[in-house]
Amino acid sequence: MIQFFEDILQHYSWQGVALAGVLVVLFIVQLYYYVIAYYRIYRYRLMRRRKKIIENPPISVIVALRGENEEFLTKELPSLLHQDYGHYEVVVVYIGGDIDYYDELQLARENYSNMRLTRIGGDSRIYISTKQALNVGIKSAQYDALLFTTPGATPRSEQWVSLMAKGFERGMIVAAPAVPHFEVDTMKTYLMRMVEFHRERNAMAQAVSDKLYYAPRSNYGYTRGLYDSTRGFNHLGIDIGDNDLYLHSIATPERTAVVLSRHSVVVEERPERWSEWLELMRYYSSTHEHYPTSAKTFVRRECGSRVLFFLAAITAIAILPLELKLGAIALVLLRYAIVVGTSRRVAARMGERGIALRYWVYDLFGPIVEKMISSKHSHNTPKLWR
């Protein structure tokens, strides 16, 4: 046996053997993510969780509307008010001082018995934070199950509320996917979409493993009793964090339910300009420094092992003997087949479509985009009460 290893070292050199070993180890790390960690999303079934409350709980859908948004008035609000669910309401908290726009919201409220409307602000010198607006919405809501969404987001199905109610039957915190929507489908917008998909996939993989640290801002909820018992939002020095920092502080395995269905998805409009999208991602990333170490490690290990795997594979193909070159190529192709197959199944559970044929674009360039996002801080996160 010793002679066997000595022959290998003599033939390939210890550097070649070490490089091949590193490549195999990195392949195994990648295998863990795509065969085990991410595949849990595909295998997750909400109905396996035991019901804790009565069926079909009444739901209050809360949305904080900042400024005059015609798209919300003509498209998004009607989609919220026409859900196929018997016992729910939509609570709109309008932050602004435009009387004409507020009159249009009041007209909508008069036409729909399941709509509530509250206005705060009006003085441009006083900034009303999103958390303050959501707190007003929670106090205005009449039901215990609180479901949150945002302007710019539209439920993909009229069954959205009914499916999220299934989550409230089994947990006090409910999370479901949101997918970005771009008006045009180009290689650039595909890359943007996959960056967001991968970020959410990381979060959902942790959530279905009872380690919730994030839910999309347009598709999550919790009960009023839980909110009151925890004394409301934390990290009041920043305007965001209600969907991640606060959720992480109150989430436990017993409290959390994840709803994964193409009908529970919310579609979020995204800017197509690269600079605007990068700034939006930086804004959403403003809370990442406060994430638990386990969540940050989970995300970084996948991205880091992917980059190192490609670098090791390129080096192996360039300098190693033919048989090891072929082995490295085989590992690259095998990994890619596994990654695409798993990603396609997981994407279907999370409401994404048409990712397989171009997935190599994200696989190669995703880490570069993530670096571009993290290299600068957002200029749009207000710092409050400092």
How much is the mean pLDDT over the chain? 90
Question: How many CA atoms lie within 13 Å of 101's alpha carbon, on the beta-carbon side?
Answer: 20
- Domain holding 153: CATH number? 3.90.550.10
Are residues 259 and 212 in contact, defined by beta-carbon separation less than 8 angstroms? no
In a domain? residue 218:
yes
In a domain? residue 322:
no
**Encoded tokens for 351:** 């409401």
**Burial profile 348-376: b = 16 or more Cβ within 10 angstroms, e = fewer:** ebbbbeebeeebeebbeebbebbeebeee
pLDDT of residue 59: 97
pLDDT of residue 7: 43
Alpha-carbon separation of residue 112 from 68, 95, 192, 291 (angstroms): 20, 21, 37, 40
**Encoded tokens for 29:** 């790390």
What is the number of other CB atoms lying within 10 angstroms of the CB of residue 164? 28
pLDDT of residue 11: 47
> What is the tens place of the pLDDT at every residue in 179-195?
999 999 999 999 999 99
What is the number of domains present in the chain? 1
In a domain? residue 128:
yes
Residue 380 clears pLDDT 70, i.e. is over it: no
In a domain? residue 317:
no
* Residue bearing the bigger pLDDT, 320 or 231: 231
Compute the distance between CA of residue 198 and CA of residue 179 in angstroms, rounded to an integer.
Answer: 11
Residue 2 clears pLDDT 80, i.e. is over it: no
| Predicted confidence band of residue 383 (pLDDT cuts 50, 70, 90) | very low
pLDDT of residue 35: 96
Q: Is 235 exposed, middle or buried (0-12, 13-18, 19+ CB in 10 A)?
A: middle
DSSP state of 230: T
> What is the tens place of the pLDDT at every residue in 220-267?
999 999 999 999 898 888 889 999 999 999 999 999 999 999 999 999
Compute the distance between CA of residue 342 and CA of residue 360 in angstroms, rounded to an integer.
Answer: 14
DSSP state of 89: E
Are residues 136 and 93 in contact, defined by beta-carbon separation less than 8 angstroms? yes
Of all residues in the chain, the percent with pLDDT exceeding 70 is: 93
Compute the distance between CA of residue 252 and CA of residue 353 in angstroms, rounded to an integer.
Answer: 31
**Encoded tokens for 107:** 């007209």
In a domain? residue 86:
yes
CA 235, 206, 307, 363 torsion-angle sign: negative
| Predicted confidence band of residue 8 (pLDDT cuts 50, 70, 90) | very low
Of all residues in the chain, the percent with pLDDT exceeding 90 is: 77
* Residue bearing the bigger pLDDT, 25 or 376: 25
pLDDT of residue 379: 63
pLDDT of residue 67: 87
Compute the distance between CA of residue 210 and CA of residue 202 in angstroms, rounded to an integer.
Answer: 13
Residue 40 clears pLDDT 50, i.e. is over it: yes
In a domain? residue 175:
yes
- DSSP H or E segment with residue 174: strand 173-175
- Per mean pLDDT, which range of 141-155, 349-363, 370-384 is the poorest? 370-384
Q: Identify the domain containing residue 72 by its residue range.
A: 45-197+207-272
For residues 273-297, give the mean pLDDT. Answer: 94
Determine phi and psi for 170, rounding to 5 degrees.
-120, 0
pLDDT of residue 20: 85
Task: Sort strands 59-66 and 145-149 into parallel, antiparallel or unpaired.
Answer: parallel
**Encoded tokens for 276:** 């605007």
Ranges 100-104, 302-306, 371-375, most confident: 302-306
| Predicted confidence band of residue 5 (pLDDT cuts 50, 70, 90) | very low
pLDDT of residue 124: 65
In a domain? residue 340:
no
Compute the distance between CA of residue 57 and CA of residue 38 in angstroms, rounded to an integer.
Answer: 31
For residues 128-132, give the mean pLDDT. Answer: 90
CA 128-76-69 angle, 5° bins: 45
DSSP state of 238: B
In a domain? residue 384:
no
Residue 333 clears pLDDT 50, i.e. is over it: yes
For residues 68-75, give the mean pLDDT. Answer: 91
- Per mean pLDDT, which range of 86-100, 186-200, 312-326 is the poorest? 312-326
